[in-house]
Amino acid sequence: MRRLSSRLERWPLLLENVPVPPSTRSRRLAAIGIGVAGLALSAFPDLPIPLALRATLGIASLLAIVWAAFARRSSRSRRLPSGTYLEADEAGITRTTRLDPGTRKSILEWDAPFGVALLASYGRPTALLAFTTPTQTRYVPARIDDRNEADDELLARIAVLADLDLVDGVAHDAALTSAATASLVRHVEGRDKHALGRVFLSDGKGTPIALDRATLAIGERSFDLTSKLEWRPLMFHESTGQAAALYQATWIRQAGSEVVLVAPMPASIVPRESTAHRDASGRLGRALTRDLRLLQAPAETPPSRDVRVAIDRPFMMAVRRVLDDAPLAARVLPDPPPRLTPTLRGTLP
């Protein structure tokens, strides 16, 4: 992060693991070939070469090989500016491309409602910062693999377990560094401390959905998360023609008002790599582990369409996280299926 003035700040998006350009690769191979040939000539005893020249040739050949080796190593680990950066001023946050200064996309405006969440997964170095407003959702790739302890604690407060397809889809995109990610989140917190973890969405019909630590608002309905309410996670199958789909859902009831938030079930949410859980370290890793418990849900019959509300799939865990933290919310179990009384053969009705 680079401070430009008291009112303007910028956070660059960097490219990770930039591939070696063809010209660099060819020069490196040529240097290795020349170095090997030079070493062979300097070590050949029958050539009429003065000793001083022989030593100079050997040293130059070794230097050529060393340069080729280190050039390859540095090209693998370098991070280069992408020319894109986030800029915060007195109006809000925008995404700007340096190659085209006229291209500016608004991320959020300070004088309008907004929220920020971090969509992350196990063992993945890249996550997504999700900036939500009542009218749009903007995603910014963010590195989280080299965060320090303070940044880890901050990002854990807004981290939500996301499916792998979403996170892996931006693995090679330009992203904020871990330090820049935490710096940006702190800047947002300085503007509105209640924005961290807050979410603004809408369903397929345009009905607004707003979630924070105290309230879940869906259109004209509002659920007070500081008062008693009931909720439970569930999943269900539903067929449309010849196709069948699996859905995840969250049922909520309070004071006679009932709603079921519905989203498609993610294809995969836990990496198969054996090191995934080990890599999910720190408070952020523990937060993602907790979301695994919230993900578990029994299969039930499809809920009535009258109470269903569609929600964006990445934010289902954010809803369950807030419900699980609500002090007076009760997670209930579905009613067990009725038991059939066995009928004895040979008895009279």
Tens digits of pLDDT across the chain (349 residues)? 444 445 789 999 998 754 445 545 567 667 677 766 666 666 666 666 676 666 676 677 677 666 667 665 444 446 677 789 999 999 999 999 876 666 789 999 999 999 999 999 887 899 999 999 999 999 999 999 889 999 999 999 999 999 888 888 888 899 999 999 999 999 999 999 999 999 999 998 899 999 999 999 999 999 999 999 999 999 999 887 777 899 999 999 999 899 999 999 987 776 666 555 555 678 998 898 888 889 889 999 999 999 999 999 989 999 999 999 999 999 987 765 555 555 544 444 4
- Residue positions counted in the chain: 349
- Full DSSP string of 297-325: --B-PPPPGGGEEE--GGGHHHHHHHHHH
Answer whether 0.85 is exceeded by the pTM: no
Cα–Cα distance measured from residue 117 to residue 131, given in angstroms and rounded to the nearest whole number: 7
Identify the CA nearest to 185 among candidates 134, 235, 243, 117.
117
Cα–Cα distance measured from residue 224 to residue 100, given in angstroms and rounded to the nearest whole number: 46
Q: With b meaning 16 or more CB within 10 Å and e meaning fewer, what string describes 115-131?
A: bbbbbbbbbbbbbbbbb
Identify the CA nearest to 92 among candidates 103, 83, 104.
104
Contact 42, 55 (CB under 8 A): yes
Identify the CA nearest to 233 among candidates 161, 319, 150, 173.
319
What is the Cα gyration radius of the chain?
28
